[in-house]
Amino acid sequence: MGDKTELITSSEFQQELRKRGGLSVSRCFQCATCSSVCQLAPAEAPFPRRQMLWAQWGLTERLMTDPGVWLCHQCNDCNTRCPRDAKPGDVMQTIRSLAIERLAVPGFMGRLVGRAATTWPLLIGIPFLFWIVALYAVNGLEPPASPLVYDHFVPHWLIYIVYFTTTGLVSLATLASGLRFWNMLGKGAQRSGSFISSLIGVLIEIAVHKRFAKCETNASRRLGHFMLLWGFVGAALASGLIIVALYIMHEEMPLAFLHPFKIVGNIAAVLLVAGGVAVLLNRLQPDQRAGAPTAYDNFFLSVVLLVIASGVLTELGRYFLDPLIACWIYIIHLSAVLSLFATFPYSKFAHMLYRTLAMVHERMTTSQNK
């Protein structure tokens, strides 16, 4: 066929894209205003104009192997300037959600989370039921006497079993999806330099939210996202420190309010609450600067907010709430965290994986970022 390619257009992909919030893609008439105004698009492979074209044609293969899809941070500068209201930012977000689904290991998990619009009760309900059943088996769901010590209600060993198992499984799935994506990206691209040093560069970029700083339309999201990121880092650190306190320093639980580890945890909590509120308010802006909400996005955001809210209430509940209520809030918290962990490679959370890899790939394929 010479220089002709047979186009494998997927109307199934198109339908899915349209259904999930990318309906506006049909409006694009390829003027490339979006690519011109995008501050993040690399000069040699600008987005999102071409991704819009591929999406229109239903060229799944190209979209799945394209780093541009992930380099987009949904600043939505394109959305506000699109002369035909094709909302490229929203379309890119929807493409990402479809990519996450298609890269998911195992596939059924990807489809389950991908269809969060209908499956969200399962995704939240199953962890909750799990904890109810587990706790009933362990202690008959009997709330401990005041003063409330959570360990007496949910023993640490149970938490370790559940979360270490989940984390382990999820890590394997993440690794598999990550490798699959990394190999797809690498096809036909010339990479150079070391993965590790590129990764370090990317992580520094992420740590200071360098790319978010270039956004105009959705600039207000930067602070919220920044606080959330560091809040989660702090929370993870605090969790690690608790183990240190428990098994190395043999400290008495719960830790005193002014214990350094506790302070780390509380700073993280403050960051998470502030970040969560900021992100939520940004989402609720009537101008939809953060993009039109989709069920998929909403699921992830809701779980994150639920984790934060229930976490903070759990801590406060120890002091101010009836132990029965506090315990039920604790169960909700544990369920929300489990839901968040278990859906990591399948929900919007997975952008952490794919965007980081795409940024590393970008560093290794272009000279200007080195």
Please tell me whether residue 7 binds another protein under the rule CB under 8 A: yes
Q: At its nearest, how many Å lie between another protein and the CB of residue 26?
A: 4
Q: Which of 35, 51, 56, 93 binds another protein (CB under 8 A)?
A: 56
Question: Which residue in 5, 190, 367, 368 binds another protein (CB under 8 A)?
Answer: 5
Q: Give CA–CA dist 5/137, Å, rounded.
A: 60
Could you tell me how many residues of this chain bind another protein (CB under 8 A)?
Answer: 20
Q: Is 118 in the site for another protein (CB under 8 A)?
A: no
Site string for another protein, 57-96 (x = CB under 8 A): xx--------------------------------------
CA distance 35 to 23: 19
Comparing CB distances to another protein, the nearer of 9 and 166 is: 9
Alpha-carbon distance 76 to 93, whole Å?
10
CB of 6 vs another protein, minimal distance in Å: 5
Piece of 51-59, 135-143, 203-211, 357-365 that binds another protein (CB under 8 A): 51-59
Binding part of the chain for another protein, among 11-19, 109-117, 151-159, 361-369 by CB under 8 A, reads 11-19
Q: How far apart are CA 280 and CA 302, in angstroms?
A: 9
Between CA 48 and CA 38 the distance in angstroms is: 8
Residue type, 303: V
The string of DSSP codes covering 154-223 is: S-HHHHHHHHHHHHHHHHHHHHHHHHHHHHHHHTT----S-HHHHHHHHHHHHHHTTTGGG-STTTTHHH
Among 67, 73, 117, which Cα is nearest to 219's? 73
String of contacts with another protein for each residue 13-32, x by CB under 8 A: -xx--x----x--xx-xx--
Buried b (16+ CB within 10 A) or exposed e, 155-189: eeebeeebeeebeeebeebbeebbeebbeebeeee
Residues with Cβ within 8 Å of 24's Cβ and at least 6 positions away in sequence, in order, are 85, 86, 87, 90, 91
**Minimum distance of another protein from residue 296's CB (angstroms):** 19
Residue 187 interacts with another protein (CB under 8 A)? no
DSSP one-letter code for 349: G
3 belongs to the binding site for another protein (CB under 8 A) = yes
In the complex, minimum distance from the CB of residue 115 to another protein, in angstroms, rounded to a whole number:
17
Determine the distance from the C-alpha atom of residue 34 to the mean position of all C-alpha atoms in its chain, rounded to a whole number: 25
| 9 vs 356, beta carbon nearer another protein | 9
Q: Does 292 bind another protein (CB under 8 A)?
A: no
DSSP state of 40: S
Closest CB to another protein among residues 7, 43: 7
Nearer of residues 35 and 310 to another protein, judged by Cβ: 35
Q: Which residues bind another protein (CB under 8 A)?
A: 1, 3-7, 9, 11, 14-15, 18, 23, 26-27, 29-30, 53, 56-58
